[in-house]
Amino acid sequence: MPFVHYAVRGLVGGLKEQLSRIRFQQWDVAWRNFVYETFREKTGKTSKRQRDLLLDLPDQHFVPVKVMELTPRLAKNYAQSTLRTLQRDLDALEKMELLERSHKGVRARKEIILAFLPTQKRPNV
């Protein structure tokens, strides 16, 4: 009987881990859909660059404002731009309340869409 109890506890632990991963993936898909919907009516190079910046920023921790070094897409988008362009994009996203700044850097405010997800246990922010 102790072995069965041990096996069941292991199974339950594995299922909880899988559910956590699925919820995190749902959260990520919902965030991406929200960002694309937010920028759907906005056209042009600037809006696309801001959308890509927001999608490539982490949400769990702040990163230094050297975001051009985060992903190849951001490096390409900002390669011909000045630091002022990046600052304007960050200002615009912060004004839209999609981005948070601190002395540590910037991060995406992904938690704003948690209300759109199922009401089960929410991912830690």
Three-state SS for 28-72 is: HHHHHHHHHHHCCCCCCHHHHHHHHHHHHCCCCCCECCCHHHCCH
Lowest-pLDDT range of 5-14, 32-41, 114-123: 114-123
Q: Give me the helix-helix angle, 45-56 and 83-95, nearest 10°.
A: 80
- Residue 123, pLDDT > 70, answer no
Considering only the top CATH level, what class is 2-116? mainly alpha
Query: What tokens does 67 get?
Result: 């975001």
Write the single-letter amino acid at 21: R
Whether the pTM exceeds 0.85: the reply is no
- DSSP-assigned beta bridge partners for residue 63: 106
pLDDT confidence band for 67 (50 / 70 / 90) = low
Q: Taking the domains of the chain in order of start, what are their residue ranges?
A: 2-116
